[in-house]
Amino acid sequence: MTARIIDGKLIASELRARVAAEVVRVKRENGLTPGLAVVLVGSDPASQVYVRSKHKQTQEAGMASFEHVLPADVAQDDLLALIAKLNRDPAVHGILVQLPLPKSLHTETIINAIDPAKDVDGLHPSNAGRLAGGFAALSPCTPLGCIILTKSVHASLAGLNAIVIGRSNLVGRPLVQLLLNENATVTIAHSRSRDLPKLCARADLVYAAVGKPEMVRGDWIKPGATVIDVGINRLPALEGKTRLVGDVAFAEALAVAGAITPVPGGVGQMTVACLLVNTLRAACAIHG
Ligand code: GUN
């Protein structure tokens, strides 16, 4: 059996088109232009790539995009002052502070300073708590993307066995909550979990979000399972070209799974598309 490849690129572009159409409507009917502010501290090359992509896609969706680039040695109070200003700015409906932040800054303090109504990353404790309580919340973008990709395969996740490998605040933990809200049965695995292959073997849905290249092997996968690979790992250059691989050994898993996301072209594309969804939602909620 060869798995169906889940086309994240296509699903993300359809989602962006739906957001753009909705932006046209809220502009026409409510005179509202959703606005997203992205704050980048320092000059980490990977973060610069993400931020550029967010800026471009926000504008393409017809939204206002505000970019703030601060030096790596910015004082925490100056960053907090910028966030306070963005919280008050009526043209800004979504605020995203690109992570990771330089070590000199206290990430939790920075995230807690964002108005929860504008927290399009879904990382503020108020949104994380609401999500955990099963209430409506702005939810982190990558996990939202994972759910949308899963639903392109399964109309309902109710009763399915899911395993989430990884427990980060950005992906693993919120993904667990979203899956619970979809009535899946969820196992949370991490670096201390025993016998991962055995835990995986029971799962109808496998989410790999550990940041370890090709850690999940084909013979861990239950035949026919859906595999969502969140990892994006840059391997050293082979013949001058860097190779991007996920957390799943793709070729092995392809032969066993029912459906699988590729890297690149899977989850990665969904994160920014879901950021646009969250910005639109935040704008409509704030506007009332
Ligand atoms: N860095 C990598 N992914 C993300 C994300 O989804 N949000 C933020 N703020 N930073 C990131």
Same domain, 69 and 184: no
Domain coverage including residue 50: 31-115
What ranges make up the beta strands (E) of the chain? 4-5, 35-41, 64-70, 94-97, 161-165, 185-189, 205-208, 226-229, 233-238, 241-245, 259-260
The CATH number of the domain where 242 resides is what? 3.40.50.720
Q: Ligand 1 in contact with 163 (CB < 6 A)? A: no
At 44, phi and psi to the nearest 5? Answer: -60, 125
Residues 229 and 174 in one domain: yes
Q: Are residues 110 and 148 in the same domain?
A: no
Among 47, 57, 98, which residue has the most ligand 1 atoms within 8 Å of its CB, making it the best to mutate?
98
Query: In Å, what is the CA distance from 97 to each residue of 86, 94, 160, 167?
Result: 11, 10, 34, 20
Cα of 53 vs centre of ligand 1, distance in Å, is 12
> 146 and 223: one domain?
yes
pLDDT recorded at residue 236: 82
Note the Cα 193 to chain centre separation in Å. 24
Domain CATH code at residue 103: 3.40.50.10860
Specify whether 241 is catalytic.
no
Same domain, yes or no: 203 and 97:
no
Q: Position of tokens 């000059």?
A: 43
Could you tell me the pTM of the whole model? 0.96
pLDDT in tens, the chain (288 residues): 799 999 999 999 999 999 999 999 999 999 999 999 999 999 999 899 999 999 999 999 999 999 999 999 999 999 999 999 999 999 999 999 999 999 999 999 999 999 999 999 999 999 999 999 999 899 999 999 999 999 999 999 999 999 999 999 999 999 999 999 999 999 999 989 999 999 999 999 999 999 999 999 999 999 999 999 999 998 887 777 788 999 999 999 999 999 999 999 999 999 999 999 999 999 999 987
What is the structure's pLDDT at 242? 82
Same domain membership, residue 250 and residue 166:
yes
- Partners of 228 in beta bridges: 207
Q: Which atom of ligand 1 is nearest to the CA of 140?
A: 6
48 is catalytic: no
What pLDDT, on a 0 to 100 scale, did the predictor assign at position 60?
98
Does the residue 25 lie in any domain?
no
Confidence at residue 288, expressed as pLDDT on a 0 to 100 scale: 77
Binding site for NADP(+), by residue number, is 166-168, 232
Classify residue 273: in a domain, yes or no.
no
Residues 240 and 201 in one domain: yes
Structural domain includes residue 188: yes
In a domain, 13, yes or no: no
Number of the ligand 1 atom closest to the C-alpha atom of 47: 1
Residue 248 lies in a domain: yes
User: Does 23 reside within a domain?
Assistant: no
Pair 147, 256 in one domain? yes
Domain count, the chain: 2
Q: Three-class SS of residue 32?
A: coil
State ipTM: 0.96
The CA 269 to ligand 1 mean position distance, Å, reads 13
